[in-house]
Structure 1
Amino acid sequence: MGTKKQAEKSKKLWIKVLAVIAGVIFVVLMVVSAMGSSWITSFTVVKPGDVAVVDYTLRDAQGTPIMTSNQQLYTQLASQGSGVLYSKQLTITANTSLATGVFPIAFYTASTGWSTQNQFALFSTEYNAISSGIVGLKANSQKTISLSTAKPMTQFWSADQLAASNMSLSSVQIGELIALGVSSSANAAQANSTEPAYVRIGEVSNKTPDGITIDFSYPSVDVTVVSINQASS
């Protein structure tokens, strides 16, 4: 009788255990169902050929944001009187090279709104660095990507050129930000150039009695992957 009672007790224990396991499985299935496919995409990484949507912030040599798609950051900086530009998120194909010299981006400023005539110039070297730099990132992953180039992006403006732009040499200070037009070849657009001009924000890096040097390169960009659209196989 003792053995029979033990067997019945053991059987009841297993029934309870199986009931608990079944309950846990049910709860897990309910959670997974509520999550949809998001739990799968959380393991997905950007691969070559994938199309990713990214938030980004371009920074100058001092780490100052020049242009951003982060609305919260833009609002904060704009409220402090910053001249930072705002744009929509970038849709970029991973690990591809841009076929043209410039990737044009529409931008917004607090004083002018969305620009209808000018677009910001993201140069092909910068686009390519972002395109290759996001490979391996997951959705919501953040990364600072280096945009440094072997050849510096600078331009010298003489006192006469400054005067033509309604600026005086005496009033310009080192560290000041100046908007300038550039062509797709990453050179400042000349008045007789037939190439379209794009907007670029440069920083005065040097000043002499003859004029100023403007640096319009951006050493780094902060990116956050918002979504990943996997390439069709």
Structure 2
Amino acid sequence: MRSLKWLVGVLCTICSVEAEAELTVDTKFPVSTKNISLSSPNSQSDERYVWFNEGWELRVLDYIASVNKGNAPEYLYFLDPRYPRPYVEGDEAEQSELPHRAHLIWNKSEYYAWAESFLSFRQIDEANKALSSRKKSILLPGGGICTVFLHDKNLSPVTAVKIDLPENNYGTWCNGTYALGSAGKGIDGLLLTISYDLIGKNLVQRSEDVGQGWHRMTVLLRLQKDASGKIRLVQDDRCLGNPNKYKDIPSSRKALSRCEGR
């Protein structure tokens, strides 16, 4: 009987650990009518919202520079002087919700995930050389990078993962991050929808043709902690494949739920 009680206790402990480890993902945070007043952009809550997100953006820019030999965009979104902060009025108000950001809770700890596309330092060098010689710049394999940056609750960097695109012998150019969301119940991971182009084809000649032929797919990024306690985001293509035809989070989540041995 004593051994049975011990076994039940062990099983309960395992269950509680698994429950604590389950990931929750909030892609509306902090853009929510519960937290932020959309109708009063001068309110104190809006000021906190802008202050937080500008600080977050600066940390992401610092992170990009640290992995890209000091090269980073001047701004991404909240620091963009063309954007009427903190909100767009009327029917365009939903544009202020950024689907490529998320607030995470995992093992009772908070994290912030930001997915972004940017130019590699080699692509920037190529563009500068082309500009100085008055030639057309060419797209380099891997010249467009899509990465998810993870910060803790104090916006200190935790980890980052560059999306791996082996198609066309890695002759790919990632040009957009469209959605970031939960991989589903029981999976400690994120789903990220991206777009990319293949190097080697003729460039479009008209601005209205930009985007024609771009590929879109969704990848699974698992949250893992190693023996030393270090957090990592690891791309796992075993179920969805790479490349794949999943163009949004819901269809990818359904595919994952059907995948055996996930």
Q: What TM-score range do you get, normalising by the shorter chain?
A: under 0.3
TM-score, structure 2 as length reference: 0.24
Bigger Cα Rg: 1
TM-score, structure 1 as length reference: 0.26
- Relative contact order, higher structure (CA 8 A, sep 6+): 1
